[in-house]
Structure 1
Amino acid sequence: MTRYRHRAGELLVHADDCAALRPALAGFGYHPAGVSGSVHRFTGTRPVPEVLAALGSRGASPNHLFGPDRIIWGDPGMRPKPTHGELTPLSRSDEDPTVGVIDTGILLDRGCPHPYLANRVVFDQEDVVRLERGEDGNPVGSAAHGTFVAGVLLKQVPAEVGVRVRMKGVLDRADGAAEDLAVATAIDELREEGITLINLSFSGATWEDEPPKAIEAALRRLPPETVVVASAGNRSSRRRVYPAAIKFEAARPREVDQNHAWVIAVGAADSTQDSATPRVADFSNYGPWVSAYAEGVDVLGPYFRLGYPTEPAGFNGYAVWSGTSFSAAIVTGKIAAGLAKAGSARAAAEAVLRPLGVAKPPTVCVQDVNGPDHVSYVAGVREPGV
């Protein structure tokens, strides 16, 4: 069975299965505790794995937890690092939000977002994340992840294009976890706001490799012109992770279904050794379910503002960070940059992943159990010397 994280004492059941499962769940002490779209939450005290094992494959699943895998508490080589690089602050824009980012939320300092972002990030009070500090006074946890993702995304957009980000804060600032239902609710809210391009820079394993119920249901509710870009995870594994691996009625790998939102799974590429021949980053997940690769090693973006963290860390308001989170942000930014010209997010995504008029579109060669495969590579903006 796949290792996964979940909320203790919570099970999710689709509305179509509630009538059949309610008596069995009641027998285990689980009772209805709310509805999100077509998914019902049941709560109880018996351990979730024990209940699921007894039920078998009868329609209930955990309330899964997802997060920015490994890049905060795992491999020290993947944590944010100080840099001398900086970015010119963005110009202001009065355009409506173009792209939705579901993440930790936006970090404020003295009431304002990072100066690089100008007013390009739109958020509500509940989308603001507070700074957590350790005993040495330095920030800990995932607070800056959403700010960094938004910055990497916007960095791909020409200055004259008025792209703005609608931030939805759902990842826990301390442990980086986001539950299935919270993500689904944020997707629904972005849909209601008319946003058709969404970035999900988090991932996780699920019960017996099945898609998470609430997120999958929310993605099904999106109009078919919507594009969702999701990070493929940082476990150096072929195993599928979600939400990136959610696909709708695709007959072949990477085939695009026109009747549902297009979910683009993005892995990390490494071009630091040879910019002409990018390869799959050592930490990136891979496999036929990954739609594209983008730069994911030592990506520059806005981090804690000047003076945070304290010495000797030496951050200057920016950092370089590695992970598929930022590869996904690069792809989302490239799509956002072309959205107005293309007319729809789907058309813009096609232009980014399958450019017309290019004799030899850039690819990453993936060595897999089925032999070599050439997958679309999306080059991000790189600053000299970074």
Structure 2
Amino acid sequence: MTRYRHRAGELLVHADDCAALAAGLAGFGYHPAGDTGGVRRFTGTRPVPDVLAALGRRGAGPHLLFGLDRIIWGDLRPRPTTDHLTPVPAGDIRHWAGVIDTGIVLRERRPHEFLGERVHYDPEDTVRVVRGEDGNPAGSAGHGTFVAGVVLKQAGPDVGVRMKGVVDEQSGDAEDLAVANALDDLREEGVTLINLSFSGQTFEDTPPKAIEAALRRLSPDTVVVASAGNRGMRQRVYPAGIKLAPTVPGQVDDKHALVLPVGSADSSRTPRVADFSNFGPWIAAYADGVDVVGPYFHPGYPVQPPEEEPKFNGYAVWSGTSFSAAIVTGRIAAVMATGRSARDAAGEVLEAAGRITVSDVNGNSEVPHVQGN
């Protein structure tokens, strides 16, 4: 049993390493099966962990899967609320926040009323609701709508969400290559602020090859906000944990996009790190992540037993670092609307944020705490 999740029978190799590795991979029965964005895919039948163990650190890696950690089937399920959000009609949208997620749920060919015309999507970025035996959603379909709504809550009518639907609506899985392709699409569209609300562990704690390569192709003024995971652990997860260049205190890296890992804070009393949130010195900021209100499905769905109150009213409360990341993304987008670049806006948001005390084996540290609207 391996701790990382991956596609069986698939390996990824950077194009520059193919010549050196092709013969060795062929010896294990793995052969080229296509490429995308500088990464080559090899397929075979021998178990991936066995091949990687035999190759050692020689450049090949699994085709990794990431997911919506614990927030669908675990302790962090969406719950009904009596709160109701007032939709903000779209204005002259000049700033788009890219959201790579499950896609947008449509009802009568329209997105949730709170998103309205402030969300842009292609047909492949919509999502089918998978229903269980009780007729209620059995997967992750509502996650993309909720994340998009939390982003839009933080900003005015001149900010919109550009949705890219790559997370599977039933399993909650996102493939390394699919995320990389979505990042490339957003780069080509000129989007410089991107939200990634999923995470996972990787082979030997190394960055996922395709996503890392795609992040390196982003322009230096791009900011990628990524959720830090909901396992309550210190270990780095990805893609939030990707570092594109060595960090030098006080020095700004102007050659690569900025990746901001975001954990969850519990503000129900003196702000502290939420019990479920991952933590550690690799996390750049924390944002409110407990009982966040956002758009879910239409009123009355999911259906609940007659005795249960309140009923779903089209909105929900949901907890997780997914929504903490969305808050930070939305706050950055709001500052971008005043004419700042994504990188400058991120700096302003973190500088103006409060502070939360984080304690671990290295002692206490003060980390930015971004509060949501």
Is 1:171 the counterpart of 2:167? The answer is yes
* Per-residue Cα deviation, 1:160-196 (whole angstroms, up to 9, x for no partner): x410110000000110000100000000000000000
> Is residue 285 of structure 2 the alignment partner of residue 284 of structure 1?
no
**Match of 2:264?**
268
Gaps of 5+ in 1: 356-360, 382-386
Say whether 1:51 aligns with 2:45.
Answer: no
**In 2 relative to 1, CA 104–321 (structure 1 residues): closer, same or farther, beyond 3 Å?**
same
1:339 aligns with one of 331, 336, 339: 336
Partner of residue 109, structure 2: 111
Match of 1:92 in 2: 90
Counterpart of 2:28, as a letter, is F
Query: Which one-letter code corresponds to 1:316 in the other structure?
Result: N
Q: Conserved in 2, the CA contact under 8 Å of 1:2 and 1:208? A: no
Partner of 2:152: 154
* Equivalent position of 1:297 in the other structure: 290
Instruction: Give the alignment partner of residue 182 of structure 1, picking from 178, 185, 192.
Output: 178
Work out the CA distance in 1 between the residues paired with 2:205 and 2:93: 40
The match for 1:310 is 303
* Letter matched to residue 71 of structure 2: I
The aligned counterpart of 1:362 is 354
Report the TM-score when normalising by structure 1.
Answer: 0.93
Match of residue 248 from structure 1: 244
CA distance change for structure 1 residues 255 and 83 in 2, over 3 Å: closer, same or farther?
A: farther
Give the residue type in structure 2 aligned to 1:210.
T
In structure 2, the CA distance between the partners of 1:22 and 1:219, relative to structure 1 (3 Å rule), is: same
The counterpart of 1:207, out of the listed 183, 198, 203, is: 203
Counterpart CA distance in 1 for 2:130 and 2:51 is 36
What is the CA–CA distance in structure 2 between the aligned matches of 1:321 and 1:256, rounded to whole Å?
A: 35
Q: CA deviation at 1:247?
A: 1.1
Preserved contact between residue 250 and residue 256 of structure 1 (Cα < 8 Å): no
Which letter does structure 1 place at the counterpart of 2:293?
Answer: L
Q: Is the 1:254–1:288 Cα contact (8 Å) retained in structure 2?
A: no
Percent of paired sites with the same residue: 68
Distance of 1:35 and 1:364 partners within structure 2: 44
Separation of aligned partners in 2, 1:96 and 1:140: 36
- Length, aligned pairs only: 369
Aligned to 1:374: 366
What is the CA distance between 1:90 and its match in structure 2?
1.8
Structure 2 contact 94–337 (Cα < 8 Å) conserved: no
Alpha-carbon distance between aligned partners in 2 of 1:253 and 1:91, rounded to the nearest angstrom = 42
Matches of 1:316 and 1:246 in 2, distance apart? 38
2:350 matched to which residue of 1? 353
Which amino acid counterpart does residue 301 of structure 2 have in structure 1?
Answer: Y
Decide whether the 8 Å contact of 1:200 with 1:229 is kept in 2.
yes
Whole-Å Cα distance in 1 between the matches of residues 248 and 236 of structure 2? 16
SS state at 2:155 partner:
coil
User: 1:253 deviation in Å?
Assistant: 7.4
CA distance in 2, matches of 1:326, 1:2: 28
- The residue that corresponds to 1:358 in the other structure is none
What's the counterpart of residue 129 of structure 1? 127
Amino acid corresponding to residue 170 of structure 2 in structure 1? A
Any gaps of 5 or more consecutive residues in structure 2? none
Q: By how many angstroms is 1:255 displaced?
A: 6.4
Give CA-to-partner distance per residue, 1:56-75, whole Å, 9 cap, x none: 11000001000110000122
